[in-house]
Amino acid sequence: MPEPTTPEPALPEPTTPDPALPEPTTPEPALPDSTTPEPNGHAADAPLLTSVVDGVGHVVLNRPRALNCLTQSMVDALLATIAAWEQDPRVRLVHVTGAGDRALCAGGDVVAARAAIVDGRPDDASAFWAQEYAAIAALAAFARPVIALQHGYVMGGGVGLSAHARHRWATQDARFAMPETAIGFFPDVAMTPMLARAPGELGAWLAMTGETIGAVDAQYVGLTDVVLPTESVTDALTATTRLAADGDVSDADIQALAAAYGMGAANGVGPAEGVGTANGAGTAYGNSGGVSRLQDDREWIDACFPGDDPALIVARLEEHPDARARACGALLRTRSPLAVAVSLARLRRAETEQNLASAFATDRRIADAMMHGGDFVEGVRARLIDKDQPRWRHTRLEDVSAADVATYLDAR
């Protein structure tokens, strides 16, 4: 797949904005220079930079002008790097960061994937998704601690890359979203099992709407473990480097540092009970960055989003007395009806799915089907390329049948 020139992704507008959420201004962490770059650590302008210094393996997503969106070459290099580091005793800890101050990663390069399909190279698009999933799974399963620094925009594949890591550290300015239904896709990268464990019906709300939430909200739903004050980020990462320079690093060591540097470390309130990563990471954290606005929003979200019928959910929202609920219903009417229906069905099925490998395998089948036969090509064209109104396959959610959903959910 050729290197794309990805336009900046269209960021979904939240229906319940957090007025206290600042624009991403996180300073780029000071990464030490490596005099012995890894084989996959390319020139300074390469899209993925890797190095090993003082016991820390550094992975830097290096496409800041494209919000560090993942490309084929990046996921290929990441997969090779993780495989090499598994056998490298020098690597006692891994840091995953994004270049620049605007994003860790705003997702996979869906514009390039669409181009491959339109140009008659559908296998290239499928190969990108397969490699992206494999790289994220490899990072999640890495034998030594991995810290993903979630700063700026953390969207789509960027959520998957970081939220499955053993340690998820968010900065105050982080903004999270799984905005796939806006482009005719679904929340993939094995995120639906994690969303299904979110409090109440927040997982369904996030999966169907693609809403943007802040760092404290992300901690509440289980997408991050700790919220770091902006001024503490560099010191916190430097402290982990000192640990790695001295010897092996344990998960307990990392959690202790997070407690020391994170916001609200003394209040003893962490993510909602039962949330965390599929491999159990994150569940030992106990500090909170503050009170999530979603705790209040749950009154209407939990009332409107139960069940398996997306059309009924929208009807409840449109009839609800809370203006936030009605605004959410209007937002859902702009999303791909097929993608919204498939996303809800995928989330409900994921409620009993505990195996990360199984989740990735299921998502790959659904992704292939939706890319080649759903609204994906049209959604990417309209939202990210031509910036006009998409022409979805179905006019309304009420027009999407159970058989339509099964075509994608049960694809082989």
Residue 125 has pLDDT above 50, yes or no: yes
Backbone angles phi, psi at 256, to 5 degrees: -65, -40
Encoded amino acid at 247, one letter: G
Q: Tell me the C-alpha distance between 82 and 73, whole Å.
A: 14
- The counts of H helices and E strands in the chain are 16, 10
Question: What's the whole-number mean pLDDT along residues 381-398?
Answer: 97
Question: What local confidence, expressed as pLDDT, does residue 306 receive?
Answer: 98
Residue 9 has pLDDT above 60, yes or no: no
- Please give the residue range of the domain that contains residue 332: 1-412
CB contact set of 198 (below 8 Å; sequence gap of 6+): 206, 221, 222, 272, 275
Of 153, 150, 223, the closest CA to residue 193 belongs to 223
Place of tokens 């900065």: 171
Residue 376 has pLDDT above 90, yes or no: yes
Residue 184 and residue 376 in contact, taking contact as beta carbons nearer than 8 Å: yes
**The two structure tokens encoding residue 2:** 């050729």
Question: What local confidence, expressed as pLDDT, does residue 287 receive?
Answer: 52
Mean pLDDT, all residues of the chain: 87
Number of domains in the chain: 1
Backbone angles phi, psi at 198, to 5 degrees: -65, 155
By DSSP bridging, strand 175-177 and strand 213-214 are: antiparallel
The DSSP line for 358-376 is: HHHHHHHHHHHHHHHHSSH
Of 26, 257, 30, the closest CA to residue 147 belongs to 257
Question: What's the whole-number mean pLDDT along residues 264-283?
Answer: 39
* Highest mean pLDDT out of 212-221, 273-282, 353-362: 212-221
Question: What local confidence, expressed as pLDDT, does residue 38 receive?
Answer: 37
Backbone angles phi, psi at 84, to 5 degrees: -70, -40
Q: Percentage of the chain with pLDDT > 70?
A: 83
Q: Tell me the C-alpha distance between 324 and 347, whole Å.
A: 23
- Residues in the chain, how many? 412
How many C-beta neighbours within 10 Å does residue 303 have?
A: 15
Q: What is the pLDDT of residues 161-176, one digit of tens each?
A: 999 999 999 999 999 9
CATH number of the domain where residue 64 is located: 3.90.226.10
Q: What is the pLDDT of residues 257-272, one digit of tens each?
A: 999 999 853 333 333 3
**The two structure tokens encoding residue 186:** 């679904």
Question: What's the whole-number mean pLDDT along residues 331-355?
Answer: 95
Q: Which residues pair with 56 in a beta bridge?
A: 53, 93
Residue 8 has pLDDT above 70, yes or no: no
How many C-beta neighbours within 10 Å does residue 256 have?
A: 13
Q: What is the pLDDT of residues 21-68, one digit of tens each?
A: 334 433 333 332 332 333 344 577 899 999 999 999 999 999 999 999
Residue 127 has pLDDT above 80, yes or no: yes
Helix (H, G, I), strand (E, B) or coil at 222: coil
Least reliable range by pLDDT among 149-153, 177-181, 268-272: 268-272
